[in-house]
Amino acid sequence: MRCALDRLAEQLAAAGATVARESPLLPDQAEAGRLYLRLLFSVLSANFPLDQYELARAAAVRLVAIDRGPAAERTRGSALTHRDWILADGERARLRQRWRELFARSTWSSVRVCRHPRSRTTTPTRCTVG
């Protein structure tokens, strides 16, 4: 896939398009994924039975702040307070604004939004044409 995107970018550049592989407007995909998990699990856990919610809340309290993995974010989301949900929703609004700004300046953008567990690539592929 990366090779196909590279060839496409080369062809577009040869045809006169401006091709940028990085943009300060491109949101951090890892952070966007963590935000998505927190918000998703806050909704999914809303109807947990009280005992299950209390277990999730206790697990969230035990998490260390530097643990930013998917399991930790799901746990945090399951026990999100209203205040924390409001803050996360504000973060989501800022993320949407960054995407709007990127697409306002670009004709087309391709971002590798998820990494296959067996992928050897350590950095996301980012290619913006505009």
Task: State pLDDT tens for residues 89-100.
Answer: 999 999 999 989
Residue 102, pLDDT score: 85
Residue 27, pLDDT score: 87
CA distance 72 to 91: 18
Q: What is the DSSP string of 89-127?
A: HHHHHHHHHHHHHHHHH-SEEEE-----TT----S--EE
Residue 113, pLDDT score: 46
Buried b / exposed e over 14-23, threshold 16 CB at 10 Å, is eeeeebeeeb
| Regions of the chain with pLDDT less than 50 | 113, 116-117, 122, 127
Residue 116, pLDDT score: 46
Residue 121, pLDDT score: 52
Reading the block at residue 124, the tokens are 């996301």
- Number of CB atoms found within 10 A of residue 106's CB: 16
Residue 48, pLDDT score: 93
